[in-house]
Structure 1
Amino acid sequence: MLPQVEEVLKEYPRIEAGLVNAGKVTEIAGFLMAFTVPVIVLYLDGREALREARFVPIEKLREDLQRIYEGVFGE
């Protein structure tokens, strides 16, 4: 899943991505309320704007990111 998400994110250069391995950083699961994997969470100004978990349809992710990106950056 990671390579597909990284490919989609290339279309949105102003989005910063980070990867956290919940197996190594166990506190993150509780903090993000992420109790299944994978989980994709997008924050805007410290607030959650998008969450996809377990089965992440790449095209839906792309569409959601496009909508948010256009709304925030006007691009």
Structure 2
Amino acid sequence: MKEVRELKTIGEVDAFLAEHELSFLYVSTPGCSTCESLMPKLRELLDDYSPISFGHADASEVEEVAERFLILAAPIMLLLIGGREYLREDRFVRFGPLREKLDRICGLYQK
């Protein structure tokens, strides 16, 4: 399964995004059953995308992340390229369409 980097401060989030050209940021909250059930599915999905680095931030610990990325509810999944948001999915993610979007974006990015 894809390695997940736990991001505990907004500085760590910023450093993670600066270190990795292709970044997938997952923002969750504690006690959220949807958040907890999506994490293993995302790790499995992102296994197929080696260029994408996977980071996780708990919005209750890193409160600034909600303001920075205009997050109103969790979970939120963001794909960032060079620190810019290219894809946003919320709690009602459908993995088939998400895979298609990732294929398209990664295919364009690698050309």
Shared topology, TM-score over 0.5?
yes
Q: Which residue pairs with 2:51 in the alignment?
A: 14
Consecutive aligned runs of 4 or more in structure 1 exceeding 3 Å deviation: none
- Cα distance in 1 between the residues matched to 2:80 and 2:58: 18
Q: Which residue pairs with 2:27 in the alignment?
A: none
- Cα distance in 2 between the residues matched to 1:63 and 1:6: 16
Tell me which of 37, 58, 63 is aligned to 2:95: 58
TM-superposed CA distance for 1:60, in Å, is 1.2
Equivalenced residues, count: 74
TM-superposed CA distance for 1:45, in Å, is 1.6
2:80 is equivalent to residue 43 of structure 1: yes
- Give the letter for the 2:54 counterpart: A
Percent identity between matched residues is 36
Larger RCO, structures 1/2 (Cα 8 Å, 6+ apart): 2
What is the DSSP-based 3-state SS (H/G/I as helix, E as strand, rest coil) of the residue aligned with 2:79? strand
Cα offsets for 1:27-52 (capped at 9, x unmatched) = 11111111111100011122111000
Tell me which of 10, 14, 26 is aligned to 2:63: 26
Higher relative strand content: 2
| Length-normalised TM-score, structure 2 | 0.64
Structure 1 regions of 5+ residues with no counterpart?
none
- Cα distance in 2 between the residues matched to 1:54 and 1:35: 11
Compute the RMSD of aligned alpha carbons: 0.9
Structure 2 regions of 5+ residues with no counterpart?
1-37
- Give the letter for the 1:62 counterpart: R
